[in-house]
Amino acid sequence: MLRFMRAAFAALPLALAAPVGHAAELWGLENESIATYKAKVVDLLCEVGSSCVPNCGGGKRQLGLLAADGKLRAAVKASSDFAGPVLDLQPYCGKTIEVDGLLVENPRMTMMFVQRLREKDDQPWVTTDGFLHDFAARYGNGSSDDWVRKHPDVKAIIAADGVFGIPGLRSKSPDVTNPDLKAK
């Protein structure tokens, strides 16, 4: 998993620089491929566990993509840094849409990183950046830039548990760009 995360973060600047008018771009992840296909937006808990609620959970549940061939793929990533596509997919709950992004086929779980979507072939592609718009609306204009460092919940967790998730644990090598990582 750590190897996957390192590859994802290393390739992130290239992926974010991709023009909206072009198809998805590769990030350099193991087992990745560019994929564009039509699928029905579904609530994953409903599909795999029969725990069904109205409207795919109203934005509070993980969503998936059920293709015509019966393959179910978890929609785990949007085009925004560290954000999922739930806000972008939610309006299409139960509908068939076309998605464009990266398909990561791992023997343990196949995932779709949805970078763009559209409901009909004659419509323009829409970038999956709903999370950033929602964040800016909640926390003020400009807050979507580097949102993960500005989110109040993230700040509270770091204040309580430290940047490594273990209270009091500090790096032994100084990092001048992040005072939280400096050695004690």
**By the 8 A CB rule, do 18 and 101 touch?**
no
Same domain (yes/no): 7, 66: yes
Same domain (yes/no): 87, 12: yes
Domains in the chain, number = 2
Determine the structural domain holding residue 10 and report its residue range.
Answer: 2-129
**By the 8 A CB rule, do 102 and 112 touch?**
yes
Same domain (yes/no): 13, 74: yes
Mean pLDDT of the chain: 79
Residue pLDDT, tens place only, 140-174: 766 565 677 777 888 888 888 888 888 878 777 66
Same domain (yes/no): 35, 88: yes
Question: Distance between CA atoms of 19 and 23, rounded to whole angstroms?
Answer: 8
Domain end (from 113, 129, 145): 129
Q: Which residue has the tokens 């050695």?
A: 183
SS3 label, residue 114: strand
pTM of this structure: 0.71
Same domain (yes/no): 20, 39: yes
**By the 8 A CB rule, do 37 and 100 touch?**
no
Question: What amino acid is encoded at 113 in this protein?
Answer: F
Same domain (yes/no): 124, 140: no
Q: Which residue has the tokens 């993230």?
A: 154
Same domain (yes/no): 11, 84: yes
Residue pLDDT, tens place only, 115-133: 999 999 999 999 998 888 8
Same domain (yes/no): 148, 57: no
Same domain (yes/no): 117, 143: no
pLDDT band at 27 (very low <50, low <70, confident <90, very high): confident
